[in-house]
Chain A
Amino acid sequence: MAFGTSSKMFVATIEAILEGRALDVDGDTFKIALFNDTITAPDATVALASTAYGAGVWGANEVSDTTEWPVTGQALDSVTSAISGAVWTFDAADEVSDGTSATLADVRGCLIYSDTDAADSGLCFLSFGGANAVTDGTFTVSFSASGIATITV
């Protein structure tokens, strides 16, 4: 099992938003939870219930620090939703562990999900392209200038 190489939005979440489900991409509190390489490779085409934090492949293999990147993840700050031409972009400020003494091992990827949504539905997952570890330090996820997630039409 492995996290895999893909970074994708969940199709079922897009469908749920289009069908009027209450998921506010620039109003909800979104969290970023970290996962190791023991996880089964995530799939962008799973049913909505399996996109959620704590469900499907996201039910195990989370990586956390007691206080500086706790279980359930860190809340994203400065979340934005914007359209430019044919591209919709979801973005947020880079996420940094709380403090300077985090210890995390085998961080391979993450789930971005709505903590406001009662079901904790996932929006997307990102593969970090290799294992990462911090010891008594800080862990930072630097999001791309292209955003955390995009839809191109």
Chain B
Amino acid sequence: MIRHWKCVECKKTDVTNDDGRGTRYHRCPKMRGINVPFLPDGTKAKLVLREREDYIGGELVQLDPEHGRPVASLTTIRDNGQDVIVYAPTATAKGA
């Protein structure tokens, strides 16, 4: 199944030939270098990147590559719904 993709932020395009499942990702220069999903070409949407709202302290959270800011999630808002990618922190335990 040939699928045509486009990033709604940086306008990069891609084409995949696969089983039609899953989503194509790329590191978007317009979204601080974070790995974000392409959308099927022609889809109207916007991407909203949310920084982590909670106190970080010693938590091992994910940072955006461009500014080193803690990121929590990326929401893709479409005309008919929305998708979310959560950038999960790492659970830790220390022996010393």
A residues with CB within 8 A of B: 5-9, 11, 14, 44, 96, 101, 107, 110, 112, 123-130, 132-153
**Assuming A139-B84, A141-B86, A142-B62, what are 20 further A-B pairs, CB within 8 angstroms?**
A5-B57, A6-B59, A9-B91, A11-B93, A125-B91, A126-B91, A128-B73, A130-B50, A132-B75, A137-B78, A139-B83, A140-B85, A141-B85, A144-B62, A144-B87, A144-B90, A149-B92, A149-B93, A150-B60, A150-B90
Contacts of A148 in B (CB 8 A): 88, 90-91
The residue on A at minimum CB distance from B52 is A129
Query: Chain B's nearest CB lies how many Å from the CB of A151?
Result: 5
Asked if A132 meets B81 with Cβ closer than 8 Å, knowing A141-B86, A141-B88, the reply is no
Whether the Cβ atoms of A153 and B95 lie closer than 8 Å is yes
Interface residues on B, range: 35 or more
Interface residue B80 (Cβ < 8 Å from any Cβ of A): yes
Contacts of B52 in A (CB 8 A): 129-130
Give 29 CB contacts A-B under 8 Å. A5-B57, A7-B89, A7-B90, A9-B91, A107-B86, A127-B54, A128-B86, A129-B53, A129-B54, A129-B70, A132-B75, A132-B86, A138-B23, A138-B83, A138-B84, A139-B84, A139-B86, A140-B86, A141-B86, A142-B62, A142-B86, A142-B87, A142-B88, A145-B62, A149-B93, A151-B93, A151-B94, A152-B96, A153-B95
